[in-house]
Amino acid sequence: MFDKLIEVKRRYEEINQLLMDPAVINDNTRYRNLMKEYSGLTPLIEKFDQYTEAKNNFEEAKMMLDEGGLDAEFKELVQMQYEENKELVEVYSQELKILLLPKDENDDRNVIIEIRGGAGGEEAALFAYNLYRMYNMYADSKGWKTEILSLNETELGGFKEVSFSIEGDSVYSRFKFESGVHRVQRVPDTETQGRIHTSTVTVAVMLEVDDVEIDINPADLKIDTFRSSGAGGQHVNKTSSAIRVTHLPTGLVVECQDERSQHKNRDKALKVLRSRLYDIEKQKQDAEVAQERKSQVGTGDRSERIRTYNYPQGRLTDHRIGLTLYRLEQVLNGDLDEIIDALVTADQAEKLKSAEA
């Protein structure tokens, strides 16, 4: 591990010198790529420097204690330095192992999230809206941009289905564990007996892809136009601006009617379609990997019940890692970092265990 760290530090120092070279500065593409590499290596190098300092202090204290001849007061100080730095060496060593784990190449990418009401009818649709609001507020807190791509509303303000994009720094790294079945337990507004109902909503987190990554043959598409329905004022049902795209080889269907422009709706529908097709291939690859190495925290099984939101108790439980929080209101208002951090830590621990096996 430490040979690799020395090699990485050598590369880090080399990049630092290159970034001061006028020829590199004038080459925008190369400069940008080097800056990205430099930024990616910085946390690892900073931790390695902390480790090196602690190790040197530990070895210095050990040598002084081994040599002996220290007065009682000074020996106590050296002993304290020895114990403190011994502990730091162990902590930093573990943190370095985590930082050296292979980085998910998709972590920096943008995502498209699809939320669908499942079992529970209107109550499920209302909770689908709650989840959309939760993710949207979380994205806002990070300064990320969100855009609705497709929306199918109910009369009571719920979402039968919604697709939306999130763009920003390292979006996928924070959302990749949200795919699965989300279960809600609460008393619906229409329930006169005060009984708790259980409903489910499915969430799919997909990578946003472009034309280069997914090449769609126009001959494989059937594109229909129809009149928009739902909220929209006088424009609704006036023109055939809504778009329905059917991918004939797979049978995938995407509808988009949020824009007044037929062209914009078509672009949004194709954007969602590309991500769905890419996601199908990615899930196949994830399934093959999962057969070889089971992971505690999954990112691909859409049928897995991952989380329960219990309103009467103000409780949230993530079933994959056994995490329970009694701060449901804050979470539903977009305060997701505690949950996401716990999922990331659990995933790192599992990968570390596999790497050391």
b/e burial code for range 60-80 (CB count within 10 A of at least 16 → b)? ebeebeeeeeeeeeeeeebee
Residue 219 lies in a domain: yes
Strand locations in the chain (E): 111-117, 145-153, 159-167, 180-186, 197-207, 221-226, 242-247, 252-256, 305-310, 315-318, 323-325
Q: Are residues 209 and 71 in the same domain?
A: no
pLDDT at residue number 300: 46
Assess if residue 105 is contained within a domain: no
| Same domain as 123, residue 61 | no
Cα separation, 350 vs 59, in Å, equals 32
Residue 118, φ and ψ in degrees, nearest 5: -110, -125
Asked whether residue 70 is assigned to any structural domain, the reply reads yes
Residue 146 backbone phi and psi in degrees, to 5? -120, 150
Q: In the listed set 69, 99, 129, which residue is the last one of a domain according to the structure? A: 99
Q: Is residue 94 in a domain?
A: yes
- What does pLDDT average to in each consecutive run of 10 residues of the chain (357 residues)? 85 93 92 90 92 93 87 89 93 86 84 89 91 96 92 87 91 93 86 82 88 78 75 46 85 79 82 85 70 50 81 94 94 95 88 74
Domain that residue 309 falls in: 111-353
- Taking the C-alpha atoms of residue 254 and residue 263, their distance in angstroms, rounded to an integer, is 15
- Please, are residues 201 and 161 in contact by the beta-carbon 8 Å criterion? no
Regarding whether 50 and 139 lie in a shared domain, the answer is no
> What predicted TM-score, i.e. pTM, was given to this entire model?
0.75
Are 198 and 119 in a shared domain?
A: yes
204: which strand partners?
Answer: 114
Q: Give the per-residue pLDDT at 259.
A: 67
Shared domain check, 307 and 170: yes
Structure tokens at 40: 């990616």
Answer whether residue 106 is part of any domain: no
CATH number of the CATH domain containing 91: 1.20.58
- Same domain assignment for residues 41 and 190: no
Q: What pLDDT is recorded for position 276?
A: 84
Q: Is 212 domain-assigned?
A: yes
Same domain, 57 and 123: no
Read off the tokens for 69: 């001849």
Is residue 104 a part of any domain in this protein? no
The residues that bridge with 115 in the sheet, in sequence order, are: 162, 203
69, containing H or E segment: none
Last residue of a domain, one of 36, 68, 99: 99
Same domain, 180 and 256: yes
Residues 23 and 161 occupy one common structural domain:
no
Confirm whether 270 is domain-assigned.
yes
Report how many domains make up the chain.
2
**What is the CATH number for 146?**
3.30.70.1660
Which pLDDT score is estimated for 150? 85
User: Are 175 and 270 in a shared domain?
Assistant: yes
> Domain check: are 254 and 326 in the same one?
yes
Judge contact between 189 and 196, C-beta under 8 A: no
* Residue after which a domain boundary falls, among 99, 121, 141: 99
pLDDT at 231: 47
State pLDDT tens for residues 129-175.
Answer: 999 999 999 999 999 999 988 888 888 888 998 999 999 988 999 99
Residue of 114, 62, 53, 106 lying closest to 83 (CA atoms)? 62
253 shares a domain with 207: yes
Q: Please give the DSSP secondary-structure letter assigned to residue 203.
A: E
